[in-house]
Structure 1
Amino acid sequence: MAINPKLLEELKERRAKARKAGGEGKLAKRHEKGMMSARERLETFFDEGTFQEFGMHAEHSCHRFGMEKKELPYDGVVCGTGLVDSRPVAAYSQDFTVSGGSLGRIHAKKICDLMDFAHEAGMPVVGVNDSGGARIQEGVDSLSGYGQVFFKNVLLSGVVPQVAIIAGPCAGGAAYSPALTDFLIMTKDNANMFICGPDVIKAATGESAELEQFASAAAHASISGNIHLVADDDKHAMELTAKLLSFLPSNNISDPPHEFQNLDLSDDPELNEIVPASSKEALDTMAVIDRLVDDGDFFEIMPDFARNIIVGFARIEGIVVGIVANNSMVKAGTLDIDSSDKAARFIRTCNVYNIPIVSLVDIPGFMPGLAQEQGGIIRHGAKMLFAYAAATVPKITLIMRKAYGGAYLAMCSSDLGADMVFAWPTAEIAVMGAEGAAKILYRKEIQEAEDPKAKTAELCEAYREEFSSPYQAAANAMITDVIEPAQSRAAVALALRNTLSKRDTRPPKKHGNIPL
């Protein structure tokens, strides 16, 4: 007996209505702005034909303030799962054409139910944020909904990767769900994120501020450091998300998606040419990374924030790695408050998702200055020490040039748990730089010399040879080997293969107390 045709027709009508969302007029206006609809974003993201929707027929439950007369298709948020490069991912996309994408009780329940499913199935969660905020008509129910979403964000943290995309307005309490995720991607146009808008700031403090100064993608990427990547548009945001997920495991008990291949342990002579003749010249660390990683494919994270340190994902002979590298071309590569925060967060993310860490060292120390001291550089620098020491994933360190003082330790020395430490012959490992040390240790000799400048240079060289040579560190078993730069890729690749089976158990405890 065949199914009643009316039932099939009703189903088709409901699906067609859902696809139109807030109406063809609103969809057309979004397209004019270069924006995608909530569904188009997910269709672009998932492998064709693999999206399976959750809660298409869900409806709001508010019957006050005229809401009983309103129809809100799928309550303004499209939820479901699908495949991204053949791997399962859960995603939701808020629909601004449906009541401004406002969050109410059912809207929040759909997101939370999807997150529960992702938790149990062990798959990443991607959220596209495009919402006017809490649904005022639902009152405290909408606030409760936000609280439930925040709770789920924290519950899933460190269990499955979470990525937030800011593709429209994200204001007030709504901004805290993205802030609780692992990575935030924001479109450079048509999106903003803030707690208090210009009017509130003006009323509370008397300050005049435009949204572009604090709420735009550019401001968050370079000044506040609230986001990790800037996308050109919606399509690019989905592409960046897929690329990011290609380096991450589906969950915390899975290995990253390594691409094992036959090891190529040949030398790379071009690395010998990258090192400047003088230690006073800046080293182009990005050029080093380009030679180390497979096909020069380095996916940098937070490229515009705290540029004195570089972090990002890559593969080295097929092994997924997180790279943490000093950038001597910015602030001489010193560690300051922002770069310490940036690195510590990235190190902990790698550790959570079983990603080996490769540290490239060229650091003269922590950034000096009254603002840094008053701003808490001790506390912020300690985050890096904590993050590295707490990390149980494979840790490979390459000391390229300067490695001075506490900053040497903060960049994952053997004492902080590095499994293997390699150094170039140009490495200088010491309490401080040779010039400063010589002026302290040989002050009298310099003062009595006929040519103090020449004497200082002579003593500096003597200090380097006796106290900061990589061979002295190697003699004290602090370095695995001294290698020429050309051997770096082979040495790191082999070290990674030899440490993938690493098992590091720690004392039983709830969690460590990182200095936040």
Structure 2
Amino acid sequence: IMDMAIAAGAPLVSLNDGAGARIQEGVSALAGYGGIFQRNTKASGVIPQISVMLGPCAGGAAYSPALTDFVFMVRETSQMFITGPDVVKAVTGEEITQNGLGGADVHAETSGVCHFAYDHEETCIAEVRYLLSMLPQNNRENPPRHESSDAADRRSDVLLDLVPADGNRPYDMAKVIEEIVDDGDYLEVHERWARNIICALGRMDGQVVGIVANQPQALAGVLDIEASEKAARFVQMCDAFNIPIITLLDVPGFLPGVDQEHGGIIRHGAKLLYAYCNATVPRISLILRKAYGGAYIVMDSQSIGADLTYAWPTNEIAVMGAEGAANVIFRRQIADAEDPEAMRARMVKEYKSELMHPYYAAERGLVDDVIDPAETREVLIKSLAMLQTKHADLPSRKHGNPPQ
């Protein structure tokens, strides 16, 4: 079946319910798994692969879903783990249930193995069908386009009230996405893992798009290890299946901390950078408010190949926030002043007016246009139409060597 799906260019949906290798078959069972893994890898980026967990998936069998594009799980029914609770107890002395070790909620919230988790099998299968409606049959086709009843030039005045001008005030980026996509309908991938970034599939004027957006409601929208991994995999999937990518920026930077540095934030952040730089599909970025430092570059800035870059008048593009920058640049003047706090406030204001005004980046060609937030949907749809025939070739090579 897997060979036939690859040859025919048809999506592959696997329904998994098994307890692992049959011990009585010995090494032959392991060889069978190897053949499946090899075909999963061969099909990767060629046809969409979806794994639906309708029961336990233990041992080596768990690696097949991990190699596919999307994993669906059902609560209280699905479990995934390499070694079960009995082995864990024998080796480490830890006692844990099957759901506590590898249930749907664990993989949807903690490990990131599961993309979608549902309470019932029926809902799960229905959502698989919905996902398939947004994916092409294979990498040689474009995603299916539907006629939209939602006007392409619909104004979104509600965005003016939805996003506070004050960069320190949080808001729900999901509501912004809901406002700009067709009929407010979109499918969020990995909704409960790495919540500080949103990855979603939606339609704009009937065309499927992938949306990557910082979520100011969670950790102020910073990039961390998990957010970088989540977005990198999503960008790669969109690029593999000819889905244009829209990036919505409101990012104060990478998350500082010893745990992040020791956990390899440099390496993991580079995964997202590599994914964007390697993507050849149409790429449009929009800066809603702040975009600081390395996180601004990584989130599909013009310098790493975004085709079109827009910004709202509330944008702040800079190496760092005004307060931090003023403390570094004007450290001596502040220290020598009779009233250091007054001097600091004055320097912050001066830095903002000279280096962080809304048109600073546009004047230097780093932003293509500063747009009216209410016209966001119309501008993005026109941009997608303009880039519809984009064609870009990567250098000839066997494959890249992305950071792991």
| TM-score, normalised with respect to structure 1 | 0.76
Within 5 Å, give how 1:49-128 maps onto structure 2: 114-128=1-15
Residue 254 of structure 2 aligns with an amino acid whose one-letter code is: F
Q: What displacement does 1:175 show? A: 0.3
* Cα displacement string for residues 86-134 of structure 1 (whole angstroms, at most 9, x for unaligned residues): xxxxxxxxxxxxxxxxxxxxxxxxxxxx111111111100000011222
Q: Contact conserved, 1:228 with 1:302, CA < 8 A, in 2?
A: yes
Q: What's the counterpart of residue 431 of structure 1?
A: 319
Q: What's the counterpart of residue 144 of structure 2?
A: 257
Q: What's the counterpart of residue 26 of structure 1?
A: none
1:310 and 2:198 equivalent? yes
Q: What's the counterpart of residue 286 of structure 2?
A: 398
Q: Contact conserved, 1:397 with 1:412, CA < 8 A, in 2?
A: yes
Distance between the aligned counterparts of 1:503 and 1:493, measured in 2? 18
Distance between the aligned counterparts of 1:436 and 1:276, measured in 2? 21
Structure 1 gaps of 5+ residues are 1-113
Q: What's the counterpart of residue 40 of structure 2?
A: 153
- Determine which of 378, 401, 410 is the counterpart of 2:298: 410
Distance between the aligned counterparts of 2:152 and 2:29, measured in 1? 56
Q: Paired residues, what number?
A: 403
Q: What displacement does 1:260 show? A: 4.9
Q: What's the counterpart of residue 170 of structure 1?
A: 57
* Cα displacement string for residues 275-305 of structure 1 (whole angstroms, at most 9, x for unaligned residues): 2142110132111111111111010000100
Q: What displacement does 1:469 show? A: 2.6
Q: What displacement does 1:381 show? A: 0.3
| Higher relative contact order (CA closer than 8 Å, sequence separation 6+) | 2
Q: What's the counterpart of residue 243 of structure 2?
A: 355
- Determine which of 74, 77, 81 is the counterpart of 1:194: 81
Residue 383 of structure 1 aligns with an amino acid whose one-letter code is: K
User: In percent, how many aligned pairs have the same letter?
Assistant: 50
1:341 and 2:240 equivalent? no
Distance between the aligned counterparts of 1:210 and 1:426, measured in 2? 49
Distance between the aligned counterparts of 1:462 and 1:315, measured in 2? 42
Distance between the aligned counterparts of 2:65 and 2:193, measured in 1? 18
Distance between the aligned counterparts of 2:250 and 2:341, measured in 1? 26
Distance between the aligned counterparts of 2:308 and 2:162, measured in 1? 23
1:241 and 2:128 equivalent? yes
What is the root-mean-square deviation of aligned Cα atoms in Å?
1.4
- Determine which of 472, 476, 481 is the counterpart of 2:364: 476
Q: What's the counterpart of residue 96 of structure 2?
A: 209
CA gap of 1:199–1:358, structure 2 versus 1, over 3 A, is same
Q: What's the counterpart of residue 13 of structure 1?
A: none
Distance between the aligned counterparts of 1:202 and 1:258, measured in 2? 51
Q: What displacement does 1:460 show? A: 1.9
Distance between the aligned counterparts of 2:153 and 2:7, measured in 1? 41
Q: What displacement does 1:196 show? A: 0.8
Within 5 Å, give how 1:28-67 maps onto structure 2: none
* Cα displacement string for residues 431-459 of structure 1 (whole angstroms, at most 9, x for unaligned residues): 11111001111223333445433433332
Distance between the aligned counterparts of 1:427 and 1:371, measured in 2? 30
Distance between the aligned counterparts of 2:345 and 2:403, measured in 1? 41
Distance between the aligned counterparts of 2:286 and 2:204, measured in 1? 14
Q: What's the counterpart of residue 87 of structure 1?
A: none
Q: Contact conserved, 2:152 with 2:377, CA < 8 A, in 1?
A: no
Distance between the aligned counterparts of 2:280 and 2:377, measured in 1? 22
User: Which one has the largest radius of gyration?
Assistant: 1
Distance between the aligned counterparts of 1:339 and 1:214, measured in 2? 23
Q: Contact conserved, 2:76 with 2:99, CA < 8 A, in 1?
A: no
Within 5 Å, give how 1:417-496 maps onto structure 2: 417-496=305-384
Q: Contact conserved, 2:11 with 2:47, CA < 8 A, in 1?
A: yes
Distance between the aligned counterparts of 2:203 and 2:134, measured in 1? 8
Distance between the aligned counterparts of 1:493 and 1:460, measured in 2? 37
Q: Contact conserved, 1:118 with 1:125, CA < 8 A, in 2?
A: yes
Q: Contact conserved, 2:165 with 2:289, CA < 8 A, in 1?
A: no
| TM-score, normalised with respect to structure 2 | 0.97
Q: What displacement does 1:463 show? A: 1.3
Say which SS state the counterpart of residue 18 (structure 2) adopts: coil
Q: Contact conserved, 1:324 with 1:360, CA < 8 A, in 2?
A: yes
Say which SS state the counterpart of residue 149 (structure 1) adopts: helix
* Cα displacement string for residues 196-242 of structure 1 (whole angstroms, at most 9, x for unaligned residues): 11221122222233323221100000001111000222111111110
Q: What displacement does 1:261 show? A: 5.3
* Cα displacement string for residues 451-491 of structure 1 (whole angstroms, at most 9, x for unaligned residues): 43343333223212211233111111111100121111111
Say which SS state the counterpart of residue 129 (structure 1) adopts: strand
* Cα displacement string for residues 38-68 of structure 1 (whole angstroms, at most 9, x for unaligned residues): xxxxxxxxxxxxxxxxxxxxxxxxxxxxxxx
